[in-house]
Chains A and B, each alone.
Chain A
């Protein structure tokens, strides 16, 4: 257990529905990241926050995706009008920026299946 928790662990939804995932990072970490991972591939960066500010978004993050970190603690990732191509594992990670190191601690992920 890395200390980063994600909820739910699994989500099955029908195409066109909205889904929301939650991530609780390690409490003293100021950076929070979202990645997406499809079967047999490495994680792909989606977005990250420093405290409550969203500092970078990947081109993978279409306008159907929105992420928030309202109080600089937990974060939510919402996908609107889900498509079958959104089926993947969504990973959250957190880090405490210290010098040039960027060691990220990952949650167990939320596996999304869009039917």
Chain B
């Protein structure tokens, strides 16, 4: 069963605005990752944040992690129409051997209108 939950399920914004997506999870983790998926395609890794990190940046992406609340957020700044996609958080559970399964949330469908 999915342990992650993304919020909101769908988000529609105008180009140039910022988009914030949230993710909650249930178990202790080694790290948390965000992936992007264009319609009908595979997933592309965006960013990884370790359990001992609180914030990480990569280009227009900013990820935060609050392990006490078991939650993470992904901020995309200055959004572009090309950012339109589904975004998933994925956790690598602490009790699993490193390098095994990822548990994905249900995703946020982001639409950026030109």
Contact = CB atoms under 8 A, between A and B. Distances in A.
Interface of A: 2, 4, 6, 31, 33, 35, 40-45, 48, 50, 55-56, 58, 89, 91, 93, 95, 97, 99-109, 111
A102 B42 contact: no
B28 interface: no
A38 to B, nearest CB: 11
Interface string B1-18: 010100000000000000
A44 B104 contact: yes
Interface stretch (B58-66, B71-79, B92-100): B92-100
Interface residues of B, number: 27
Contacts of A95: 99
Interface of B: 2, 4, 30-31, 33, 35, 40-45, 48, 50, 88, 90, 92, 98-107
Nearest to B33: A103
Contacts of B88: 42-43
A100 B43 CA distance: 20
Interface centre among A31, A45, A104 (most CB of B within 10 A): A104
Interface centre among A6, A43, A48 (most CB of B within 10 A): A43
A56 B102 CA distance: 12
A41 B5 CA distance: 10
B106 A102 contact: no
B48 A101 contact: yes
A31 to B, nearest CB: 6
Contacts of B43: 43, 91, 93, 104, 106
A104 B45 contact: yes
